[in-house]
Amino acid sequence: MRKFPVAAVTALVLAVVLVVPSAWAGGGSPVGAKEGTSRFLITSPHSAEMCLAALDDLSAHAPNLLAKMDFGCKVGDHNGYAIVHAENADAARKMLPESLRAGAKIVELNKFTQEQIKSFHSMK
């Protein structure tokens, strides 16, 4: 087994802990996101009566999106929820099957740093 110097391992861990979160907080793209995309929360409602049809449509149209979605259907909250990366809200909406697009809510997500929040107070 090869031994690594403690200083090198410590430096690597610090780089990951300090640099990666600061890139996210500063608006940098998360790992795996394409450059020029934003994060969006998709909320896709359907009725209890349409639940199975909505799941079938989603499964047939977008199996990758289905794998990312969380559902509240088992507890009576007939919504699908997913966080996706897309160029804009329209592109995020188009990830859904056409039958679910009109009722979907698409929200662009962002993060704030403590410094940004402090600056918001000074704008009052």
| Every domain of the chain and the residues it spans | 30-110
pLDDT value of residue 9: 44
Q: Which of the pair, 17 or 117, is modelled with greater confidence?
A: 117
Determine the topology of domain 30-110 in CATH. Alpha-Beta Plaits (3.30.70)
Average pLDDT over residues 40-50: 98
Query: Which letter does DSSP use for residue 20 in this model?
Result: H
How far, in Å, CA of 79 to CA of 73, rounded?
A: 7
CA 81-29-102 angle, to 5 degrees, is 30
pLDDT value of residue 36: 83
Report how far apart the first and last C-alpha atoms of the chain are (Å, whole number).
59
Average pLDDT over residues 101-112: 97
Question: Which residues, other chains included, contact 28 with Cβ-Cβ below 8 Å and sequence gap of 6+?
Answer: none
